[in-house]
Amino acid sequence: MGKGQDYKKTQEALDSASGFIRRLIARRINLRLAPEIIFKEDRSVEYSIKIEEVLNEIKELEGPRPYPEGAARLKLRKEKPLESKKDNRMYKKK
């Protein structure tokens, strides 16, 4: 995370250390030849933070939302689930 310059410095450091890291990996997993290691930047964390900020701004602009019509009925259903006809047939005596 950071600004563009921070990414550039980190990329340069990883690129310069890639041979050393490659040797360490080869030794630890007992490989005679280790594959080439390529480091790519991942800005998904920054992207998710930006999305969260935008969603929070939208919530602030809209204000509190009232319960939708029928929300009370949904709450009652959660407390006492309705039995389906299939369930009733399974437990009837023959």
pLDDT at 33: 85
Whether 32 shows a pLDDT value over 70: the answer reads yes
Whether 46 shows a pLDDT value over 80: the answer reads yes
What's the CA angle centered on 32, arms 42 and 14, to 5 degrees?
25
* Helices marked H in the chain: 4-28, 44-62, 71-79, 85-91
Let me know: does 4 contact 32? Beta carbons within 8 Å.
no
Q: Rg of the Cα trace of the chain? A: 28
> C-alpha 87: how far from its chain's center?
37
- As a whole number, mean pLDDT of residues 11-36 equals 90
pLDDT at 59: 86
Look up residue 35 and give its two tokens: 């594959």
What's the CA angle centered on 21, arms 28 and 3, to 5 degrees?
140
Q: Where are the domains of the chain?
A: 1-63
